[in-house]
Chain A
Amino acid sequence: MGETRKSRRNMRESNRREVGKKEMPTRWSRKVVEKLALSSIVALACVFFVTGCFGEPNGNGSSELSGSITVSGATALQPLIQQAAEQFMAKNTKVKITVSGGGSGTGLSQVAEGQVDIGMSDIFAEEKEGIDASKLVDHRICVVGFAVVAHPEVSVDNLSKEQLIDIFTGKVSNWSEVGGQDLPIIIVNRPKSSGTRAVFKKYALDGQEEAQAAVTEDSSGAIKKIISDTPGAISYLALSYVDDSVKVLKLDGKEPTVENITSGEYPIWSYEHLYTLGEPNEVVAAFIDYVLSDDVQDTLVKDLGYIPIVEMEVSRDE
């Protein structure tokens, strides 16, 4: 009896095992493989996330840079810095650079408060009210030239500086008074807080207060459109925005060309700045050096319509 029971149990177990053997592989192939695949994906994602977040500690005396840089500020400078940052990140894979706009005021106040590593500005920090410029370090990266532009049908080709000042201060209100046709002058200006307006006021108008403009706009695209559409309109644009839809006026007989600006004969230009709070750390310094290197200055800077800082034969302090 005992033996038969045993044998029966054995039989049952062996049966079960056999059944198990039959069924296991199919189950395995479905659920377990699926789970394995899923967990491996999750694990991989975790690894990427962790390495992405913390990076590897910069030990072993390796020269490879790592860290993150945040940049904000002047929208005029944003495309240049954005593209330079992408190239820099492609070369230094462990550096993460985030570039955002917001305007010169935002950039300067954020870098002064330590919220970002680099503040982009198109004017000197000293010129901005409410910024403690003594704490900030200035890195000039390129030069932008501005052209005085008018509606294409305006018959005037050249303005003397006095005539330009007279126009923008409201002493002259018709093109006939500066040698053109009988057409009212319509001033299109930028908002008072604009860095470009500050540059224009300082170097083109010798600091004289402008009259109330007929139209105020803050984007270069809109200004170009208004100038090309409105008879008698006059304004100023960065050289990179100038095209055939507007007429470029000479100033004291000088055209706003790169040669005239670098030689100092044409006065309306300004530096583009990167500001840091105190001396920059290793990563930030490497990035600024990269922006100043020939890699960027000869290609990106020129492509985007700026003038490389190294080509300038004259310089300014404030």
Chain B
Amino acid sequence: MWDIKQWKELGRKLMRSRFEKSLDVAPYDPLKDEDEMAQGVLRGDYEVQYWNEAKAKFGHAITLICVVLVMVVATCIILFISQKGISTFIGTGISVKDFLFGTVWYPDRPMDQGGPSFGILPFIVGSFSVSMLALLVAVPLGVATAIFITEINPSFGGKVLRPCTELFVGIPSVVYGWIGLSVLVPFIRNYVGGLGFSILAGGIVLSFMILPTITSVTCDALAAVPNSYREAAYSLGATRWQVISRVSTPAAGSGILTGVVLAMGRAFGETLAVQMVIGNVPIIPRSLLDPGITLTTGITMDMVNTVNGSLWNSALWSMALVLLILSLCFMGLVKLIGKRYRSQY
């Protein structure tokens, strides 16, 4: 009979051999793999292999078709809007500069008063001011919510708070608009001042609509920060606040910025809810309480009633082109932020 020392020795040997085995995993050897394939063919497995290859090709073909389809559709949309939008500037005497920086939007001005005037600066200013205001409200709220959800109370945050914020996505924009019209506009009129229909109302309604985008993207970015960062900071004696403010949040910076730009894109494109509370007046607003107009609301207000091919209609298409270019810029910005931060960390 072996004594305990021998058992221990055997155990040690077994452990070592297992460890050594785990160390030298056989590297990928194409020759050997081919050999196995050849043997498989010899064994009569070739039918199976052909079938597998055929399946792979079929899958490849389907994904390829889908990709091509999406690309064709996207290209067609861009080409269509570009073609329609550029037609405003060809042979009409309207320059791009006057169009983008003109402040007078008077598409039906009679000829004896100087003819129609298409200046979309009020629309651009309106779009930017409403979106910026929305970001100003929604970014602190959204980031703080996300920090609470991921860093401070993950169990309550993940089970209750996050689904709650994501609920905002499911509410149709007409409901936001109607609530804004029934609650927010009278509130601003009675307690803040002005008419109620204002950049302020539009910005607040929008901030609620983009809150879930910012919150969920920030949540994901914070969750992606490796726990070792936090543990290292805690082991050095950092408080929770110091960990949040100096470690997790800066490390998730690129993700948070991406969320902000995505939210800005959404704010820029939102139409219906803004249209109901902003007043739709094509004048550059002088204060937050002045009514204004955005590119999207301007397009929806007149698109249905102008005749296809008329100058007025083309000008609306040009506004759509401006909107498209701006949102492409936002997309580029997202990519750029991602790239810069990836090289940094």
User: A residues engaging B (CB < 8 A)?
Assistant: 75, 101-106, 108-110, 113, 128-131, 186, 191-195, 212-218, 222, 225-226, 229-230
A-B contact count (CB 8 A): 90
Which residues in window 61-92 of B have CB below 8 A to A? none
* Contact across chains for B186 and A193 when beta carbons are under 8 A apart: no
- A-B contact list, 14 entries, CB within 8 Å: A75-B304, A104-B304, A104-B305, A105-B306, A106-B305, A129-B310, A130-B306, A191-B301, A192-B108, A195-B305, A214-B291, A215-B195, A215-B280, A229-B186
Q: Which residues of B contact A128 (CB under 8 A)?
A: 307
Partner of B302, one of A129, A192, A212, A226: A192
Separation of A191 and B305 alpha carbons in the complex (Å): 9
CA distance in complex: A105, B316 (Å): 14
CB of B7 to closest CB in A, whole Å: 66
- Neighbouring B residues of A191 by C-beta, 8 Å: 280, 301-302, 305
**Distance of A113 Cα from B310 Cα, bound (Å):** 14
Q: Identify the closest chain A residue to B309 (Cβ).
A: A130
Give the complex CA separation of A34 and B303 in angstroms. Answer: 54
Is B312 located at the chain interface by the 8 A CB criterion? yes
A213 pairs with B281, CB closer than 8 A: yes
Cβ of A195: which chain B residues have Cβ within 8 Å of it?
A: 305
Across the A-B interface, give the 6 residue pairs with the lowest CB-CB distance, nearest first.
Answer: A103-B304, A130-B310, A193-B305, A130-B307, A216-B280, A191-B301
Which of A108, A130, A194 has the most chain B CB atoms closer than 10 A to its own CB? A130
Inter-chain contact A194/B291, CB cutoff 8 Å: no
Chain A residue numbers with a CB within 8 Å of B308 are 105-106, 109-110, 113, 130
Complex-state Cα separation, A267 to B250, whole angstroms: 68
CB contact list, B181-218 vs A, under 8 A: 181-182, 185-186, 189, 195-197
Residue numbers in A under 8 Å from B185 (CB-CB): 229
Bound together, the chains give a CA A222 to CA B274 distance in angstroms of 13
Q: Are A131 and B307 in contact (CB under 8 A)?
A: yes
Contact of B280 with A194 in the complex, beta carbons under 8 Å: no
- State which residues 267-310 of B face A: CB under 8 Å: 275-276, 279-281, 283, 291, 293, 300-310
Interface contact A216-B281, CB-CB below 8 Å: yes
Known A-B contacts: A225-B181, A226-B197. Give 13 more (CB < 8 A). Answer: A102-B304, A104-B305, A105-B304, A105-B306, A106-B308, A191-B305, A193-B302, A212-B283, A215-B195, A215-B279, A217-B275, A229-B185, A230-B189
With both beta carbons as reference points, the residue of chain A lying nearest to B190 in the complex is identified as: A231
